[in-house]
Homo-oligomer: A and B are copies of this chain.
Amino acid sequence: MNLLVVGSVALDSIFTPFGETADALGGSAVYFSVAGALLNPVQVVGVVGEDYPFDELERLAPRGIDWSGVERTAGESFRWKGKYSYDLQSRETLETRLGVFADFQPKLPDSARDAEFLFLGNIDPELQLSVLEQVRRPRLVACDTMNYWIQSRKPALMELLSRVDILMVNDGEARELSGDWNIHRAGQWILRQGPKRLVIKQGEYGALLMDAERTFYAPAFPLEEVFDPTGAGDAFAGGFMAYLARTGTVDEKSLRRAMIYGATMGSFAVAQFGIRGFDGLTREAVNQRVGAFQSLTQFEMIEPGT
């Protein structure tokens, strides 16, 4: 089924204790699509400046990514510069240059307006709403957001929440949005604002899928080597949405599997700098890691009294 993502297409400069990159391909829509395209074709809507190495994006097209919805316009591309702490647990934004992203008004090509699965990456909620309105009959809409929009665009964000099926955020964002430090109460508060389901990403601890009645816990894959956490959440979203688009079903069973595909893509994202963790990655390797998740949490039913 058609899968569409709108989000940032950026140039990232990242400093970690293990090395650094300058002006590397990045942004939420890029991580989402390199991960998701391993499972299902992905259409991208976004904007880049004339300085963007568009040929590098084009080189990813054979993997199943349609970049035709990425506008190329005069000006500078979106740039993000960040530095991670020695243990990769926290990061500091050194510089954010919005560039052409500042005046971005997403215009969906006609083909994109037929998307059935839609992911509204972390951009201004007003723009997320504008994209949502341009898609004719989406079957499943999920969105991300961040503290910046929670603080500066609360009304638009609340309007968006009332219109999406799934919100996907990290635990700090869920706490800030709800004003509640208890993550389970925070989740239930968010669910009352509209989304039928909520995904809360908790980094190295895994991710929760919640609805009003149930919680599902997907652990993070145990990794002895982590190089760059950038994009892990977007890769998670890509795996999650692409698995659902691939199967075309959105029931509890497929959502749980989608969580495991998301966690799998997150684990590949952090194992290398930038999007390199997806270089040469095959669907077989993805399925093998998905299979390995089983033994991570599996235990046999205990009969009462034993």
Residues of A within 8 A of B (CB): 86-87, 89, 181-185, 188, 202, 204-206, 208, 214-219, 222-226, 247, 253, 256-257, 259-260, 284, 287, 290-291, 294-302, 304-306
- 25 cross-chain CB contacts under 8 A: A87-B181, A87-B182, A182-B223, A182-B225, A182-B226, A183-B204, A184-B222, A205-B205, A205-B206, A215-B222, A216-B295, A218-B297, A219-B297, A253-B299, A253-B300, A256-B299, A256-B300, A257-B300, A257-B302, A260-B299, A287-B302, A291-B301, A291-B302, A297-B297, A297-B298
Q: Which residues of B contact A256 (CB under 8 A)?
A: 298-300
A299 close to B185 (CB less than 8 A)? no
What residue of chain B has the Cβ atom nearest to residue A283's Cβ? B305
* Partner of A184 from B87, B89, B206, B224 at Cβ < 8 Å: B224
Q: Which residues of B contact A247 (CB under 8 A)?
A: 306
What residue of chain B has the Cβ atom nearest to residue A175's Cβ? B87
Give the Cβ gap from A190 to chain B, nearest Cβ, in Å: 13
A188 close to B224 (CB less than 8 A)? yes
Q: Which residues of B contact A183 (CB under 8 A)?
A: 204
Give the Cβ gap from A61 to chain B, nearest Cβ, in Å: 23
Give the Cβ gap from A132 to chain B, nearest Cβ, in Å: 29
B302 close to A260 (CB less than 8 A)? yes
Q: Which residues of B contact A287 (CB under 8 A)?
A: 302, 304-305
Q: Which residues of B contact A260 (CB under 8 A)?
A: 299, 302
A185 close to B224 (CB less than 8 A)? yes
Q: Which residues of B contact A223 (CB under 8 A)?
A: 182, 184
Given contacts A87-B181, A205-B202, A205-B205, contact A294 B304 (CB under 8 A): no
